[in-house]
Amino acid sequence: MSAKLKPAKAPAAAVDWRQVVSLVQCSRAMDALEETTLVPGKKIFYQFSARGHDMAQVMLGLHLTHPKDAICGYYRSRPILLSLGVSLEDAMGSAMGRAGGYSDGRDIGVVFNYPNAHGASALPMCGGVGAQYTPTAGYAQAIEYHTRVLHDTAYDGAISVVLGGDASVATNGFWSALTIATTLQLPMLFYVEDNGYGISVPGALQTPGANIAKNLGAFSGLKIFDGDGADPEQAATLTREAVAHVRGRRGPALLRLVVPRLEGHSFQDTQAYKSKETIGDEWTRDPLPKLKAHVVPSQLSESDWDAIETETKERVLRASQIADQRPVAEPSSVTRFVFDEGEMQTEGGLHNTGYIAPRSTDEAKAEGARINMITAIRRTLDHELSVNPRVLVFGEDVGPKGGVHGVTLGMQEKHGVERVFDTSLSEEGIIGRAVGMAIAGLMPVPEIQFRKYAEPACEQISDCGSMRWRTNNRFAAPMVVRMPVGFFKCGDPWHSQTNEVQFVHTPGWRVAAPSPGGARRSHLRPMVIPHSLPGEGSPDRRTCRGDAAHFLPQLA
């Protein structure tokens, strides 16, 4: 799905150094207050310092001003969140687990989300390392779809940015997203903050030679930027060039910046695995004094620097006091928003696009010939593709072949390669990209060929199902996942498993297993379908609000 678009205007070259200084000082003040007061006072129980990562992140965030830009970070990504405009009270209150904030006390404060009407939104991140990559790729693909197929000019020039540490480049999600972004030439920026350690494991055990940028130098379709994230001028230049490359629709890019991790992995981490010499060397690379040397006196006076430092410390302290006055979340509300409860989520699903599902009756028509299960599914998918331009059907072999079960036969020819398409062989990539698409207002219908092959996608399935709940209804990613179970032709452990009950117990998913009917096949048992599936055009307004649904069709 390579872009054929007019290049977007590159961002301005000038850096607002005063703003950079203010945001970096703010991040430092938050870290210091948490470490010296809030964690010892048991106001916060899970703290991650961003020292060393902060300056480069802030510079990246200040480039993400397009209303349809999106980022997905990880647990050391608070500085970029500050640069997007999140309130200090929400940031501090979320870390304290108070009501409101990112999750209404349902998630640890370093796992954030941020629906942003004035710039880049922060997609709901997950606690699992590497889980952020494929949803961000899906959002990037949705940018292309909105622009090229739906002709929605609101997405012109938008980009998708994913943040990850050096350890995350060893994960399945990283490689799957890299394959998606490069084969489709998506507007996606991979931002790797290389501090040399994944908790205690050195980078040489994550990627050969401990430099993912060097290793990917020959990766087709990927532009590489590599440098020092602690050097203000170099970090600013590389960040500007990387964002301009992606925003100019010249393909995806990877920006690797080497940064020091100046504290442990988390507050509890004593870094006993590092020598005193290593820790001392890291502190000599602290970007804050380097930033000061760069801007004083050329951009700011010494008194300006001191005034910004004092003012940010006061703002952070006030914000923490306000956050501390917030109540804890009401315990009786803890089960709210596992599913849609009638209040529209802020981002995600069809409702934000203005799509209204056509109404239909609950009564089946008696006339007509009996058809088998595959024909019924094919007709349903064909109908949904016909009435809703935001429906996309994809998976392994669903294109020209028509699926290994023949369910999508002829659909790509009828509806086009943008809407019915094959994917690389990565179940995590299939479901992960569906998550990003759904957040961007599309209705993805991904296929997993057999239940057993869903194992690599289980993290994405679980994260998707909990999204509405853990963001307190700020985000949802509705989709319909199709997969057959109990394939009767084989009997082997790779195609015939019927352990769909695992998904019944996964929060946020509705499981439907339609029966082909009758006692002709006793192993295909009928099951009640308690709710309509998103996109079926039923009178149930979940078609717009977007509860995740899990469709498990038995083969006839």
pLDDT in tens, the chain (556 residues): 333 333 344 344 589 999 999 999 999 999 999 999 999 999 998 899 999 999 999 999 999 999 999 999 999 999 999 999 999 999 999 999 999 999 999 998 889 999 998 899 999 998 899 999 999 999 999 999 999 999 999 999 999 999 999 999 999 999 999 999 999 999 999 999 999 999 999 999 999 999 999 999 999 999 999 999 999 999 999 999 999 999 999 999 999 999 999 999 999 999 999 999 999 999 999 999 999 999 999 999 999 999 999 999 999 999 999 999 999 999 999 999 999 998 889 999 998 777 877 777 777 777 778 888 899 999 999 999 999 999 999 999 999 999 998 999 999 999 999 999 999 999 999 999 999 999 999 999 999 998 889 999 999 999 999 999 999 999 999 999 999 887 766 778 888 778 888 899 999 999 988 765 543 333 333 232 333 333 333 333 333 344 555 554 333 3
Give the number of C-alpha atoms closer than 13 A to the C-alpha of residue 510, restricted to the C-beta side.
20
Distance CA 224, CA 71 (A): 19
The pLDDT of residue 356: 78
* Residue from 58, 61, 78 nearest 69 by CA: 61
The pLDDT of residue 521: 37
**Degrees to nearest 5, angle at CA 540 with 534 and 546:** 35
Q: 9 phi and psi, to 5 degrees?
A: -65, 135
**Token pair for residue 222?**
């990927």
**Token pair for residue 293?**
């040397």
Give the number of C-alpha atoms closer than 13 A to the C-alpha of residue 399, restricted to the C-beta side.
10
Looking at residue 431, its amino acid is: I
Other Cβ atoms less than 10 A from the Cβ of 467: the count is 28
| Secondary element (H or E) of residue 215 | helix 212-215
The pLDDT of residue 523: 34
**Degrees to nearest 5, angle at CA 500 with 498 and 503:** 165
The pLDDT of residue 310: 98
CA torsion 351-354-358-362 (nearest 10°) is 20
| Distant-in-sequence contacts of 150-158, Cβ < 8 A, 24+ apart | 150/389, 150/390, 154/67, 154/68, 155/68, 156/5, 156/6, 156/8, 157/8, 157/9, 157/66, 157/247, 158/66, 158/67, 158/68, 158/69, 158/70, 158/187
Whole-model pTM: value is: 0.91
Sequence-ordered alpha helix ranges (H) in 341-444: 373-387, 411-415, 427-439
**Token pair for residue 42?**
């048991």
| Residues 547/339, Cβ–Cβ less than 8 Å | yes
Distance CA 134, CA 433 (A): 5
| Residues 136/188, Cβ–Cβ less than 8 Å | yes
| Secondary element (H or E) of residue 135 | helix 133-148
Say if strands 253-258 and 223-228 run parallel, antiparallel, or are unpaired.
parallel
The pLDDT of residue 520: 38
